[in-house]
Each structure stands twice: as C-alpha cells, then as structure tokens.
Chain A
Amino acid sequence: MAFQLTINGDRHSVDVDGDTQLLWVLRDVLGMTGTKFGCGMALCGACTVHVEGSPVRSCITSVDSIGDSKITTIEAIGQTPAGKKIQEAWLDREVPQCGYCQSGQIMSASALLASNPHPSDSDIEDAMSGNICRCGTYVRIREAIKQAAQSGG
C-alpha cells in the first residue's frame, strides 16, 4: 500500500508493505544511499536517521510506524544547526576513515548536540555507544563532538 513520508522536507509517496523497514525505503526505493545498512538488528547504528529530531535505527523502523513524523537523513542534516556543527568538526578533525559508518555516527552525534549542547563524557558515551566503527575512529569522534559543542551557538 502507499505511504506518504516527509523526508528532509519533501513529501514522498511509496508503495510498499507496511512492515518494510524505513532503511530499504530510503536506500532502494527512493535512492537516498547516504543512510547505510550494517546489521539489520539495531546493533551497529549505521542506519541512524532522525524522526522528529530523535535518532532512530531505520533498519528496524517499519514504514507504517512513522505516520506524519518528519524524517531527516544524512543528506539534509547539514541544514540543522547541530548537524552543521558536527559535520564541520568531523571535517576539521578528519574523523572518517573508510567512512561507511560515519553517516550514522553523524546522525547520532547531531541528535545528541541538538538536545544537549554541552554533553559530558558520559553523555557522549551514552549517545554514541550504539554506533560501531570498525575502523576504530572513536578517539576522533569523541574529540569532534567536544569541538562541535564548544563552537558556540
């Protein structure tokens, strides 16, 4: 059946079963490949998007659970103040290596910063420990979040 989704401010109509996960709608139906598949079980965070500003794992979020909620993906996170700061800090600190998990890392970090402009170390750990980086860029992820938090605004 058809679902109306609001993604990055645009309306999209998709014709899939209601139990189809948002991840596949984004990647395979709509061609928005910035959001990544890593585990399919909400264990790695690579597929993180925002639903009404909160981080969710799109690999376990069925399309019929979204309703009118607004979805934001990595493609548009730079248009939010927190997302912009995070992306700038990521560039400045040269966080990514292979880069595959970084969309998810940035989405989790942006959600953290939007809700908590000055996170403590343990706030960062709570928000980011659901995102695996196999290249092990954790030292720089931590530094970049702190830098973004200090960058004013």
Chain B
Amino acid sequence: MTLTHTGSNRPAGDLSRRSFLRTSAVASGGLLLSLSLPFASRESEAASSDSFEPNAFIRIGGDGQIVLTMPYVEMGQGTYTSIPMLIAEELEVDLKQVRLEHAPPNEKLYMNPLLGVQATGNSNAIRGAWQPLRKAGATARTMLVAAAAKRWDVDPSSCRAQNGEVHHQASGRSLGYGALAADAARMPVPESVTLKKPADFQLIGTPAKRLDTPAKVNGTAIYGIDARPPGVKIATLAQSPVFGGRLKRVDDAAAKAVNGVRQIVRLDDAVAVVADHMGAAKKGLAALKIEWDDGPHARLATGDIVRELESATTKPGAVAQNVGDADKAMAGAATKVEAIYQVPFLAHATMEPMNCTVDVRQDGCEIWVGSQALARAQTAAAKVLGLPPEKVIVHNHLIGGGFGRRLDVDGVTRAVEIAKQVNAPVKVVWTREEDIQHDMYRPYWFDRISVGLDKAGKPVAWNNRFAGSSVIARWLPPAFNKGLDPDTTEGAIDLVYDIPNFHVEYVRVEPPGIPTAFWRSVGPSHNVFVTESVIDELAAAAKQDPVEYRRALLGKSPRAKAVLELAAAKAGWGQPLPKGSGRGVSLQFVFGSYLAQVAEVEVAKDGAVRVRRVVCAMDCGTVVNPDTVRAQIQSGTNFGVTAALYGEITLKDGRVEQTNFDTYQMLRLNEAPPIEVHIVQSSEPPGGMGETGTSGIVPAISNAIFAATGKRLRKMPIDPALLKQT
C-alpha cells in the first residue's frame, strides 16, 4: 500500500480535533485516517505539540476491511480488543470487521511515527484513546455517509450508517464502506462530529470476546521469545552477579567443547554463550570458569540501603502536598498514632523471561522483541551500534507479561552488544535465574508517618515523610521537578478522605548497586499499602469499625463511598467469622478509578496466612469491555496477593539472593482465592484498572490479619513468624 497524497483539505477550526487527526487516500482505493493519540501520562503533553506526528492509523480498504495500527501493545490487558471497540462503536461496524496490526516494521511511513511514541504503561491506553479514537470513528463514519449522499445526490442527514454500510431509507439504497472508502477520502473533513450518547452504545460496555485469545490457546501466538529469523543462533548469558561489577577473566575451553556451542562473547560486565539451541548454550554457560571483579558494591546488603532510607526520613524532603497546618493541629490532637512502614524491592518475574533477537548487518540492524516502549528499544539498539535510529527495524511482538519490566530496554541493549560480535542473527534468552537476579526492581520505600486524632477519633493532622527511588527521575527526567514526580507520590496525596491538615514530603534516595524500575501499580503499590494500613490503625485507635470509620470521612467523595458500601455489602462485612479469620478493607482512588476491596484471611497457628476470599467493588468510569475489567481486577489482585505473601528481593554481598520460583515464590492455583468483582455503572470517562487491584489488596490483607490476630504488620511481605501463636 502506498500513500497517494496527504490531506491538506482540513478546514480551520476545532483545534483539538485538527491536532490529532488527518485523512488521506490510499492507492488501492481506501480511506486512511492518521491519528496522533495522546497518552494519559504527562509525557503526552510533548506529543500534542504543533507538529503532527501520527502514532495510530485507521485504514478502510476497498474490500471494507478496517485495519487499525496503534501504538499500544498487548501484554494481557486486553487492549487489542478494547481499543478496536472504541472505533467500531462510532464507525457503526461489527467488531469482527476491525483487524488490529502490530506496528508494521518495514514500512517507513508507519515506522517512524509509531516508534516516536513512548510506551504502554501506567494504565493509560484506554484513558488516552477514549476520546480521540471515538472521534476518529465518528469522523470516518461522517465522511463515508457524505460520500454516499454525494453519489446518490441526497442530503447526508437522510442517510444512516449501520453494520458497515450506509443506507438511504427513502430510496432503500445502500452501499458498503468498501465501495465508499475511496470517495470518502476526497470528502472534506467535518468541522466537528457528534459522538454517540452512552445510552446508544452497542459495543462499549458489553462483554466482548478478546481477539487475541484463539492464538493463545493453540500455541500459535508468537511472543518475542518465539521469533526465529532464518539462521538464528541461541545465546544465553551471565552478567556480573554484583551490579556494577566487571568481567575479570573467563576460561572457555570446556564451554567451547560442548556440542552445539558456536561462540563465546565477552563484554565488559557479562559473558554470553552462542549455540545452536538453548540446551547447548546453557550447558556451555555452566562450563565457563568466570572470574568477576565485583566492584564497589561487593559488600552491599539490603540493611545498608534501609539504614540510608531511614536516615533520609529524619530530614526534610520535597513537599508533595500541604493542606492546612498539620504541625499545629498535631500539637492540639487528643491522641497521636505514629508508625514506620516499609515495602521491599520486588522483581517482575514475567513468565516470558527477558529476551531479544538481533540481526546486525552492515547496513543496519533488525530486532525482534516484545516491548512496552518501542521507541526506546529502537534508540537503545541504535546507540550500541552508533547508527541513526531509522537504521534499526523493530518487530514488536506479543508480550509474555509486562508489569513494567518491558518499559525498560536494558535487555535490548544487552542483546545488541552480544549480536554485534556474532556473524548471524542471534536470540539472546535470559535464564530465569538471570531474569530474577538482573531485573530492575520495584523500589524499597520507607515511610515515617504520624496522625493526630481529635476526641471523637477523627484525623485532624496527617504527617507523612517517605524516602525511596524515583523511577521517573531516571526514566523520564523532565517529569521529575523540584524533587517530585507524579508517580512516586500517587496514592500518598489527594486521598479520598476528609483530613483538614495534611502534609506529605518525599525524599528521593537512589539505592546504590541495585537498579529500580516501574512495577505493576508503581507508586500506589507502596503508597496505598501505607495510607490504607494507617487509616485502619486510626479506626482501631478510635475503637471504630474500619468500614464505618472510612465512610464517615468520605463527605467529599461520593464515588469512593459508593464502592466502599458496595464492597462491604457484597462481602458480608460484619458477619461473624471463625476464630483465626478476619476481614480487612481497603479503599483507593488511583489511576483515575475508585476501588474498594475486602479480603478474608485465615491465620493458622503456625502463622501461615491464607487468603480465603476477595470482594472488589470498582468504579472505573465508563467500562469499555466489562469482561476485561473483571479479568484485570482478578489479575491485579492475585499479583498483589503474591507480593503480600511472598514478594521480597534481598541483597547480600551485592548479590540478589533469590534465583528462581523456589526462592522467589509466586501464588499458585491451590492458594489463589475466589475473587468477586462488582462494577459500578458510570458514564464518567474511563479510568485505568490494570494495576488497581495490586495496590489495594495488600493493605486489605494486612488489615484482615489485624482483624484476625490483633497484630499490625507494617512491613511487607507478611512474616508468618510474627503471627505464630505461642
């Protein structure tokens, strides 16, 4: 397909629309809409500058097929289904008529703009696409109707679009979109379009079958790790066990003697074995005798980092939010609750281990990878090779688990460094041990918090100072301003509760010798645990029921109140439970969505915790695909249960101590609780929901343990030794 002309026919006016949409014709007789989709995160603001850089395309072909190419990636969250739903709704076509394509790698036209955008993360796909994609669908529909009306010489208002056709009721004529697409491309772009009212939605809000499911049940879905360009070799690697260490020397005689091993690649801080298959590569790696220079972090332990964080919370930080005068109100408080909270480093442990396939040639480079951040993958590869980015062709793939891990491109850099020395395409696959020990980790955070209550037990003063890494400061430096970023503080500020004097400070401390990164539910993964545990502590100090205590503080937040009441009612809050069991609640507003969760736990005599049941009530605004919302809440919840029960990465002698799923455990089916999800009907704009379950469930579990045992856990993960009955 080639482009015959670019649309210069757009009228003045409606800057918001003009800035994100252009239309043009395609040579094969079709209509092409180019869109510049904003992202819900702050970096999007850069994308909505004057220059038009499209990052999504809707093509209506002469055959009536609608093909959508978009910048978001599918990593299990159902985006490849819910995004087409938005277009299909306004375009008046069946969802089956919309086909979604990965970013085409070879077409320069598509390539650069697509790679010019940032990433899929922070639960922003639907939030960013909600308005523009529906507007694009409506624009295309209006132009198709106009083309039909012109051909029939009738008033467009007498025509109607339905099921991929335009109908003229008076004469009974109809034409398919395919037959109209070429003409539609020559129609003027409408100044403004009318979007459907929620009451008229036929697709949005109705459970839709996911378009990516069939390939995922029969083994045909292709992930990055499944890429097999002709002649590909397989490599696996050992990186310096201590972050910042270097390769001193390696004896590769035994490795080279392994049948199927082709080459040993030495890098400054890693060694790779290139072989015919992963079996030989692993065997070769095990046969290497490697000596490392451990570097400056050779003696580093988790405790060193924690002491530094603890000390940082005794000094002033950047003020993230200040309401009223917390110090003054604290002085006059009737009672005071003080606590220290801590959350550990966590690995992502995506089921698809890190991998990237690279073919370095004289004229450029091709890479095959599943990435949440295509532009960065391309730039990273180009940087290693000293090439302009456009010389790097990126084939993006399905992602076998993202959770933030694949927003970083260290794996791409590593693979290209290796491939640069290999005279063939090479697929670099990390072992699980390498994946866990050389992850980029959810930061350790340390919170020092004090809250003053009045005589009635209501909070009148809230002081929280926390210390930890700012991932944003590394990943998107312009978004880190005056010691703050929007992610690190989300969930710690702008609470749903009425607290008249409220003060939160953040102290940025980057830990030595361990890289940090985004991890599912990012900032809230820490902040919601702290705030919702503390609110529970306040209820206990005030000798009040945790649900009632929260309810009384929700005067300004009716949507929060509604989900809290719904979750409590569905969970049977207040009904008796056996001894050793308890219910805990959490309530949050993060990622633009309200979520209340009630966890029911059972604590055995030996301190073992079992989560018996979870009830969730969600208000995420307009729901695009309710089945996906349920799936995502269930998923996020189990992700958080894993973190609460098991999640902890520790350092000793500069090395990550955990290695595989035996020492870094995951929740399994026999431990997984039933999870009910109740969705509140709403016509508010959609909120994110892929991450909310994770941040909310951890305090719900911890609060339930308090209800069951009277023991308050202020540090994650749960330590059964603290709960053991003596």
Contact count A vs B, C-beta below 8 Å: 196
CB closest chain-A residue, reference B436? A39
CB closest chain-B residue, reference A44? B661
Q: Which residues of B contact A99 (CB under 8 A)?
A: 76, 212-213, 215-216, 221, 398, 400
| CB-contacts of A1-58 with B (<8 A) | 16-17, 19-21, 23-25, 27-29, 31-41, 43-44, 46
A-B contact pairs, 23 of them (CB 8 A): A33-B222, A33-B226, A34-B219, A37-B353, A39-B660, A40-B432, A46-B351, A74-B219, A78-B218, A91-B217, A94-B627, A99-B398, A99-B400, A100-B223, A100-B401, A125-B669, A125-B670, A129-B670, A131-B668, A133-B669, A135-B76, A135-B635, A138-B667
| CB-contacts of B550-594 with A (<8 A) | none
Looking at A40, A41, A129, A134, the one whose CB has the most chain B CB atoms below 10 A away is: A134
- B351 in contact with A101 (CB, 8 Å): yes
Bound Cα distance from A103 to B218, whole angstroms: 7
Looking at A36, A87, A97, A131, the one whose CB has the most chain B CB atoms below 10 A away is: A97
- A97 in contact with B76 (CB, 8 Å): yes
Cβ of A82 within 8 Å of any chain B Cβ, yes or no, is no
Looking at the assembled complex, report how far the CB atom of A28 sits from the nearest CB atom of chain B, in whole angstroms: 4
Bound Cα distance from A98 to B353, whole angstroms: 13
Bound Cα distance from A85 to B75, whole angstroms: 26
| CB-contacts of A53-87 with B (<8 A) | 73-75, 78, 87
Cβ of A128 within 8 Å of any chain B Cβ, yes or no, is yes
Given the known interface contacts A137-B635, A139-B674, the answer about A98 and B401 at a Cβ–Cβ threshold of 8 Å is yes
Bound Cα distance from A114 to B431, whole angstroms: 32
Bound Cα distance from A39 to B221, whole angstroms: 20
Q: Which residues of A contact B220 (CB under 8 A)?
A: 34, 75
Q: Which residues of B contact A100 (CB under 8 A)?
A: 223, 350-352, 400-401
Number of interface residues of A (CB under 8 A): 61
Q: Which residues of A contact B225 (CB under 8 A)?
A: 33, 36-37
Q: Which of A94, A124, A128, A135 is in CB contact (< 8 Å) with B213?
A: A94
Cβ of B679 within 8 Å of any chain A Cβ, yes or no, is no
0/1 per residue, B203-240, Cβ < 8 Å to A?
00000011011111111111101101000001000000
Residues of A within 8 A of B (CB): 16-17, 19-21, 23-25, 27-29, 31-41, 43-44, 46, 73-75, 78, 87, 90-91, 94-103, 106, 124-126, 128-142
Bound Cα distance from A78 to B670, whole angstroms: 26
Cβ of B637 within 8 Å of any chain A Cβ, yes or no, is yes
Residues of B within 8 A of A (CB): 75-78, 209-210, 212-223, 225-226, 228, 234, 259-260, 276-280, 282-283, 349-353, 398-403, 429, 431-432, 627, 631-632, 634-639, 641-642, 660-662, 666-670, 672, 674-675
Given the known interface contacts A91-B213, A99-B212, A139-B675, the answer about A16 and B260 at a Cβ–Cβ threshold of 8 Å is yes
- B351 in contact with A36 (CB, 8 Å): yes
Bound Cα distance from A126 to B353, whole angstroms: 26
Q: Which of A19, A33, A98, A126 is in CB contact (< 8 Å) with B351?
A: A98
Looking at the assembled complex, report how far the CB atom of B9 sits from the nearest CB atom of chain A, in whole angstroms: 42
Bound Cα distance from A74 to B78, whole angstroms: 22
Q: Which of B218, B276, B641, B666 is in CB contact (< 8 Å) with A134?
A: B666
Q: Which residues of B contact A34 (CB under 8 A)?
A: 218-220
Q: Which residues of B contact A128 (CB under 8 A)?
A: 669-670
Q: Which of B77, B279, B661 is in CB contact (< 8 Å) with A97?
A: B77
